[in-house]
Each structure stands twice: as C-alpha cells, then as structure tokens.
Structure 1
Amino acid sequence: MALSEREQQVLRDLERQLHEDDPGLASSIEQAGRTPGRLSPRHVGYGVALVLTGLAVVIGGVSVGHGIVSMVIGVVGFSLAVWGVTLVLTRPQAPSAGARRGRGFMERQSERWERRREDNR
C-alpha cells in the first residue's frame, strides 16, 4: 500500500530530525542499511560454475596420467575451485555515498513503487 503525501512528509521530517538530534545513530543506521547482508545471486552462480569447472579439470588431470602435466592440471583445477568458493562467499559492494546523496529513503521507495506499478500495467 502506498503512503499518502502527508505520511511521506512525516517520515522525511522524522529522518531529518534524527540526523539533527543524533547524527551518530543516524550514520550507524545508514551504515547498517548499506551493508549487504545477503549473498549476491550472480556471485553464487559464477562461484558454483567455477567450482564445477575446477572439479572437472582436477578429474581430467587425474585421468591424464601420473606426471608433471597431471600435477599442473590438478593445481589449476584446485585453484579454480578455491576461486569459486571465495567468489560465492564475497558480499557485493555497497553503493558509494556520492551515488546515494541527495535522495531520501522515502524518495527511493516511492521510485521503486512507481517502477513496479509501471511494470504491472
């Protein structure tokens, strides 16, 4: 449900008052909002693909034989798998402060709401 113009104004006033009264709390709340808490689906997809590719390369290296080439292929495959796991576990970067400056929380929410309404028409 969309907020009325009055409700949006009240929320903007509360946000501004919080910044004036307790800037430390306001900045910690903003920092918590910017810190992504979830994994990125793109990172998970690429990471899983790298792990599977790395395991396939390791299996290919084992099937080549028992020589220096087999060990090099195994190390490359293991490295790909480790890279995939680290990619899955990395969190996406938070947007820069300059990109967010000038727009309040409610303005961003109303923009998202309008985009959703446009998409559903």
Structure 2
Amino acid sequence: MALSEREQQVLRDLEKQLHADDPSLAGSMRPAGGERRPSPRHIGAGVALLLVGLSVVIGGVAVGHGIVSILVGLGGFALAVWGVSLMLTTVEDGAGGGAASGSGRGSSSWGRFMDRNAERWDRRRDTRD
C-alpha cells in the first residue's frame, strides 16, 4: 500500500530531525546503495547528447577524408561520451530540498491550498471513525 503525500512528508520531517539530532546514527542507517537515483533530466539530456554525438560522427565520416573529418569525428565522439557520462550521473534523493523532493511544496499558493485540503480531509476522516 502506497503512502499518502502527508505520510511521506511526515517521514521526511522525521528523517531530517534524526539527521539533526544524531548524524552518526542517521548515517549508519542509510541504505547500502545510498539514497542516490538516476535523474530523468540527466537521462534525457544524455540520450540527446549521445544521439547528436553519433550524428556528428556520421557527418564527419560523410564529409570526406582529411583533418576536418577527423576533428569532426572526435568532436562527435566527445559529445557521445559526455552524453553517456551524463546519463550515468545520479542525484541525492530529497537532499536538494527543491520542488523535485516535495519539501518546498508548502511555499507556493498551490502547495498551501493542497495542505489545507489534506488537513480538512484528515479531520473529516477522523470525525467519521
């Protein structure tokens, strides 16, 4: 069963509090793989760079034989390698505190609206039980 947004926020808050209170314990409890995950933006940009790099390599071969063709091919290869390395980079999950991690949600008017509705929903559900 998946956790609601409110429950996920409570868990994130508890984790931050644990990190503040006892950093050594929090560090020892980190999963073996860490909390790093591939970034969808990095994967998309990496695939784009890889495709552009391969296109440049093919274009360099099509230009002809000479120093220009070799330089264009090397440039395309460099773009392709950059794309692959960008695809393989990972980001901290929730460490940035930005909109991607969900912790900055309450600062916008939409976030406040959603928080108020979640609280109302919780109150209604509690009164019915």
> Superposed, which structure 2 residues align to 1:29-68 within 5 Å?
29=29, 32=31, 35-68=34-67
Of the two structures, which has the highest relative contact order with CA contacts closer than 8 Å and spacing of 6 or more? 1
* Higher helix residue share: 1
* Higher strand residue share: 2
| TM-score of the two chains, using structure 2 as the length reference | 0.55
**C-alpha separation between the residues in 2 aligned to 1:115 and 1:52?**
38
Contact 1:36/1:91, CA 8 A, preserved across alignment: no
Specify the code of the residue in structure 2 equivalent to 1:65: G
Contact 1:39/1:91, CA 8 A, preserved across alignment: yes
Report the equivalent of 2:81.
82
- The alignment's C-alpha RMSD in Å is 3.9
Paired residues in the alignment total: 95
Specify the code of the residue in structure 2 equivalent to 1:81: A
- Runs (4+) off by over 4 Å: none
**C-alpha separation between the residues in 1 aligned to 2:54 and 2:112?**
41
Report the equivalent of 2:70.
71
Change over 3 Å in CA distance of 1:115–1:72 after alignment to 2: same
Give % identity: 51
Give unmatched runs, 5+ long, in structure 1. 100-107
Contact 2:36/2:91, CA 8 A, preserved across alignment: no
The 3-state SS of whatever aligns with 2:83 is helix
| TM-score of the two chains, using structure 1 as the length reference | 0.58
